[in-house]
Amino acid sequence: MEDVESLNQMALKRELDITKMSFAAFVPLQQQYHLLDSGSALGNNCGPLVISKRKISEEEIPNCTVAIPGAHTTAHYLFNKFYPNVKAKEQMIFSEIENAVLNGDTDLGVIIHENRFTYQKKGLMKVADLGELWEQKTKMPIPLGGIFMKRTFSIDVIHKVEALIKESVLYAFAHPEEAIPYVKMHSQEMEEEIMWQHIHLYVNDYSISLREKGEEAVKKFLALSNA
């Protein structure tokens, strides 16, 4: 059980046989890891947000300091894509970014996960929605993260693991209440309302199966990453 950037770093060192990983981290690992059909986080209106404590114009952004949730996260990839001239970045665990902005340690923060539901209550404001910018550019849902398995395993074993993950996701959809104690145990935000908002936003039909639209979105992401 690790922060997504820690998992990205472990995957880049080939330490994990099966792992969650940001799609941005997957870009250089396509020959080593296989994307499983189930367990991914893709969607619309669910991308990372850029937040600040005060109103910041587009022109100011290149000169701002920015907190990012890891160099290999999809959030950082998207921020770089739309704001390539920003140089002053500080990496930190995603759950620390709101406070970094609140305390004035950085001008901006790129937030992910449940923080998109909490930043306004803390008096912070949205500067940009990176997912929205992605959707405008590509007309595709944003691929955030997925479950990957080393290609050293046989295709039969990969398909078996894929089927088990799909079965688990389907069971969770059918019996959501059974997952709640586990989610609460590992949740950064313990308010049940926020927990459910987080689940409903990031766990959807793409988590069951990428299907054609999801696969197309991933291909577009990889193509633009390599461009």
Q: List, for residues 21-51, the tens digit of each pLDDT value.
A: 999 999 999 999 999 999 999 988 888 999 9
Instruction: Give me 138's structure tokens.
Output: 């590509």
pLDDT tens sequence across 172-215? 999 988 988 888 887 665 677 777 887 887 889 999 999 999 99
The 8-class DSSP code of residue 145 comes to E
What is the per-residue pLDDT for 34? 97
What is the per-residue pLDDT for 188? 60
Which strand (E) or helix (H) includes residue 167? Answer: helix 155-174
Instruction: Please report the domains of the chain, with CATH numbers, ordered by start residue.
Output: 4-42+143-226 (3.40.190.10), 49-138 (3.40.190.10)
What is the per-residue pLDDT for 190? 64
Q: How far apart are CA 40 and CA 143, in angstroms?
A: 8
Of 81-95, 104-118, 124-138, 186-200, give the lowest mean pLDDT range: 186-200
pLDDT exceeds cutoff 80 at 137? yes
**SS3 (DSSP) at 109:** strand
* Residues catalogued as catalytic: 113
For residues 190 and 226, which has the higher predicted lDDT (pLDDT)? 226
Which strand (E) or helix (H) includes residue 206? Answer: helix 205-208
Q: How far apart are CA 148 and CA 144, in angstroms?
A: 13
Q: How far apart are CA 26 and CA 178, in angstroms?
A: 31
Question: Averaged over 10-29, what is the pLDDT?
Answer: 96
What is the per-residue pLDDT for 194? 76
Question: How far apart, in Å, are the Cα atoms of 168 and each of 115, 147, 178, 204?
Answer: 26, 13, 12, 13
What is the per-residue pLDDT for 189? 58
Asked whether the CA dihedral 66, 67, 71, 76 is positive or negative, the reply is negative
